[in-house]
Structure 1
């Protein structure tokens, strides 16, 4: 019966230790996620700091506020998930403490019984008599060995009690730390929720402003879309002209499909580019996607529709645009307001970097992955620094989020 009980306690202890190890690993992942969300939120808040609002900035301000709320809600979710996981750890930790207390009590009881029995037969005479009363030398030797083993076992029991006491104290201290962390997380969660509520009220006020002058803002959006379409048409023409010139140089027969006739070297580069799908670096060192690819309702004025052939990435003032892959500069286009666009060829793929204030590359230059190609323009009215990034396979645009790492 005693053997079965010890076997059961051993299995229970093993299950608890495995559970704690698994829970710890899971919470480490959640903690890393929460820390990253905190960094993101600090960065977004610094990037979208509250400047003095002007009427022409309302849509931009609302877009900023919407993204700030989104990042803060992501942080709250991360805190909640980690807090829940911490609850599981605290529960399992408490179970292990209870188990260790029971083990320690059992060890102390066994040790006390042993000391009591030892005390009853402690006199030197009784030990000598125990040895002398042996029937023969072999029995005497066995009795002597037994006495040595008994003394050794008693010493080992004492050391085990000491070790178990230390382990128990460590568990108790760990539990206290986890409970303290839990309180900090709850406090942070409460603070973030308060800020979200404040930002949502601010968002409601701005939305009511937009609602009052919806037609005016729709005209602004339409004008912006018209300008974007004009720039996209210029870039499309530049790509088609480059394809025609490249194919003519290669002696290829003109085709209606407007595709590059690739050399063996260009095919290899295109193959390498394709293999890096989903792993390409961002065209900026830091930033976030403020407009995604494709046809979509405007994030603020829902009755308006926007068409984006690429993505718009909001970044810091003075940020540099960088090549997402090695290739050759296909063209440097000058747009309205002296803003520039750089087109880089990667076999049959072309990456386009729009809204540059100045560039440091020329047509025909070879560039490497992450090489700086220019400084991104900062709008003096909105104070925003936004890079337009387009990716195409020959003349057909691709969704950059499928190609850029974690975009």
Structure 2
């Protein structure tokens, strides 16, 4: 293989490598930027909610939960900044390696070109070229020598172009390296600021926990009320699900269908499949908010040795917020549960979504609702500056984690 072909293959390999790495880096940068913006937005909203809560002047568990949510978001932001720093370190190393390669390649190209110029200078006369052709032993050899002279001239021109292109690539890589170093510096500065804020918030949380521990009896009473309300809600949901399954089976039996599970009409099955296909893409039950109590069992944030269980998630939002449907469906029930406020349950084929803590409801049983349709006004606890929505998702009699179903805002 000629030096020219080898050089071309080498350049192609570099271009492919650059294209792949640039494409990957662009995706990584975009993903990290999007994640950072989401977390910064969440921190900003939590600060807004905390300011509302602190108007009450008396420390509450709700304030601690919001503070904890902000700390988690801040930690996530620092983690994203760390990932971005690693990406910039890799980019700097890659650019440094490519600059070294291009400098070496440029040196070789210049060296080869210098030799060609010297050779052309030594054999500069056209007479020597003609004699070189006519000195051939045969016509075939003369033809080959003529082609060689033409190829040599073309190669000289291509080498000159390659030198210019390599110089341009080198200049671009040096610019990219400088830019990456500047951006890395900015990220380091931002990360340090976020770490300082996190340290302050952690101290604030520890102080809040100690202060609330002095209200142990009050917190236990509040927890007992919440658990009693959650049990009433769960019984109401289970009764509705059982009634709907019984009615669906009776209707299916009349139609000659004796299948087990949750019998569905073709329309209900289509809706159920559509709901399942949108897992992770469903909208939030409020326009904006932060999750302050997550699904499943977890330790109480203040009371030592006490484990709380949440059948859904609690989202803290702004005063006067409206609850909205997360998907198309039909209202199965509108109920009043002491401690949960007014509750709306919406059937989506085999799935059921439940929305609690409303003071006013806009829908009634049997209504067809669409995605993001307003369901009701959320309760604003007087004196606590607290507005939450409680969301549950069920499949048959199985409770699901709503966080896996709604998209990350």
Normalising by structure 1, we get a TM-score of 0.81
Is the 1:310–1:390 contact (alpha carbons within 8 Å) kept by the matching residues of 2?
Answer: yes
- Residue 75 of structure 1 corresponds to 77
What does 1:272-283 align with in structure 2 at a 5 Å threshold? 272=273, 275-276=276-277, 278-279=279-280, 281-282=282-283, 283=285
Deviations, residues 99-157 of structure 1 (Å, cap 9, x unaligned):
111111111122222223333443xxx43365368458968877666555444332222
Is the 1:316–1:385 contact (alpha carbons within 8 Å) kept by the matching residues of 2?
Answer: yes
Deviations, residues 197-241 of structure 1 (Å, cap 9, x unaligned):
111111122122123333332333223333343444455455556
Query: How far apart, CA to CA, are the structure 1 residues paired with 2:350 and 2:146?
Result: 90
> How many Å apart are 1:68 and its aligned residue?
0.9
Query: How far apart, CA to CA, are the structure 1 residues paired with 2:210 and 2:352?
Result: 42
> How many Å apart are 1:70 and its aligned residue?
0.9
328 and 177 in structure 1: CA distance in 2 versus 1, 3 angstrom threshold: same
Normalising by structure 2, we get a TM-score of 0.81
What does 1:221-300 align with in structure 2 at a 5 Å threshold? 221-237=223-239, 246=247, 250=251, 262=263, 264-265=265-266, 268-269=269-270, 271-272=272-273, 275-276=276-277, 278-279=279-280, 281-282=282-283, 283-300=285-302
> How many Å apart are 1:71 and its aligned residue?
1.0
Is the 2:354–2:391 contact (alpha carbons within 8 Å) kept by the matching residues of 1?
Answer: yes
Q: 1:187 aligns with which of 184, 189, 206?
A: 189
Query: How far apart, CA to CA, are the structure 2 residues paired with 1:252 and 1:135?
Result: 103
Query: How far apart, CA to CA, are the structure 2 residues paired with 1:252 and 1:302?
Result: 52
Deviations, residues 363-404 of structure 1 (Å, cap 9, x unaligned):
111123333323333334333331111223455544434544
**Which secondary structure state, in structure 1, belongs to the residue aligned with residue 60 of structure 2?**
helix
2:37 counterpart of 1:39: yes
Is the 1:359–1:373 contact (alpha carbons within 8 Å) kept by the matching residues of 2?
Answer: yes
383 and 90 in structure 1: CA distance in 2 versus 1, 3 angstrom threshold: same
Q: Give unpaired runs (5+ residues) of structure 1.
A: 254-258
Q: Give unpaired runs (5+ residues) of structure 2.
A: 255-259
Deviations, residues 301-340 of structure 1 (Å, cap 9, x unaligned):
3433323222212234444333233322122223459942
Aligned residues: 396
> How many Å apart are 1:195 and its aligned residue?
0.9
Query: How far apart, CA to CA, are the structure 2 residues paired with 1:357 and 1:165?
Result: 70
384 and 43 in structure 1: CA distance in 2 versus 1, 3 angstrom threshold: farther
- Residue 116 of structure 2 corresponds to 114
> How many Å apart are 1:67 and its aligned residue?
1.2
Task: Tell me whether 71-80 or 39-48 shows the greater mean CA deviation.
Answer: 39-48
- Residue 216 of structure 1 corresponds to 218
Query: How far apart, CA to CA, are the structure 2 residues paired with 1:326 and 1:263?
Result: 16
